[in-house]
Amino acid sequence: MIDLSDALAAVRTHRRADDVVITTMAASRAWMEAGTQPLDFTFVPSCMGHATSLGLGLALAQPKRRIIVCNGDGSMLMNLGSLVTITSQAPSNLVVIVLDNGVYEVTGAQPTPGSAEGRSLGHAVDFAAIARGAGFNAVYRFSTTEEWAARSAEALGARGPVFIWLDVRPVPGRAGPRSPGPAAQRAQAFMYALGVRPL
Amino acid sequence: MFSGEQIASLFASLGLTHVLTVPDSTIGRWENEIESSGISIVRVCREGEAWAVAGGLYLGGASPIVMIQCTGLFESGDALRNMLHEWKLPIYSMIGYRSYLNQDTLPGDTTLVFTEPILAAWKLDVRLITQPSQLPVVAEHYRECKAAAIPGVALIAEGKA
């Protein structure tokens, strides 16, 4: 198991200056705690499940930038079809990271229907098999901090679309993320940071 | 109602770059001409995705349009709410109004009961298009919504006509 903070620290380490990083749910909270910059898109408030779709749109509109989506497993389960939509477009600049803690953490850590605890047969859903079946170009799974630290540069740098599945520890008892400001103003500031509109 | 050539020409004249769509038997027939015009078609697996992909495209500087049937509007709720009302992204959509033109011959489609009240509930600026002669109304409405930076809907009557 990987601590959420360690999982995201590797993304920070290998993030290029022009990369966009989208975070959602618990990942947003942890990412904001370590500091943000103008090309971060903290997807709070969100429509749960749609960070991957938002990332696809950004990847298509900004093909010269790498777009990294830090998603949760509960969110991923809500929009598995987006993996098929992504591969139908095959953006080489899109990286989807699923931070899998097996629970809906921000609502009190109830098991997801994809976790071993949430399933009658006791076997967790295989996100890597789903991603491969959907047609992702590169698929990785890491279960230890050491593995992730050693190969995160390779995985993040692979030709996309890339799917990275990380086993992370839940952080029970923490509140969900709060928007760092009015969403509409943040959208405008983000577009300014991308260079697609004046302030 | 409209041919693929008419829609493709309209979209090109509006400067649209991407069409997010799940087809129905009316709007699906426009795909080839839209693609031939150089506008990208992004085929999503469910309509809720369309709003979030469109949101990402808009944030990234593209000019997307969502093109779905009204049944897909029903499916779209939370994504639409978040993109249009929380992030206030002015995404325009073209929504097929199933059975509107068949009310005399095929009554009883509940899309006729729910479509307009749901669009009203979502506080969207809507133009109902029931005649082929109204194609310029769509262009005018799109430009009005773009100038005002608000989302808008062209609600396209579907059926026998």
| Structure confidence at residue B160 (pLDDT) | 65
Residue A27, both tokens: 């990942």
Per-residue pLDDT of chain A (199 residues; tens, 9 = 90+): 999 999 999 999 999 999 999 999 999 999 999 999 999 999 999 999 999 999 999 999 999 999 999 999 999 999 999 999 999 999 999 999 999 999 998 898 999 999 999 999 999 999 999 999 999 999 999 999 999 999 999 999 999 999 999 999 998 888 889 999 999 999 999 999 999 988 7
Shortest Cα–Cα distance, B13 to chain A (Å): 20
Per-residue pLDDT, A71: 98
Nearest CA in chain B to A194: B60
CB contact under 8 A, A57 and B44: no
Q: Indicate yes or no: CB of A81 within 8 angstroms of CB of B46.
A: yes
Partners of B60 on chain A (C-beta within 8 Å) are 57-58, 60-62, 194, 196
- Give how far B87 is from chain A: nearest CA, Å: 5
Predicted confidence (pLDDT) per residue in B75-130, tens digit: 999 999 999 999 999 999 999 999 999 888 777 899 999 999 999 999 999 999 99
Rounded to whole angstroms, the Cα distance separating B56 from A57 reads 4
B14 — pLDDT class (breaks 50, 70, 90): very high
Per-residue pLDDT at B161: 46
Q: Which residue has the higher pLDDT, A176 or B12?
A: B12
| Chain B environment of A90 (Cβ under 8 Å) | none
pLDDT of residue B107: 77
Q: Which of A44, A29, A100, A97 is nearest to A67 (CA)?
A: A97
ipTM above 0.85, yes or no: yes
Residues of A in contact with B40 (CB under 8 A): 60
Distance of CA A171 to the CA centre of its chain: 17
Residue with tokens 């949760």: A72
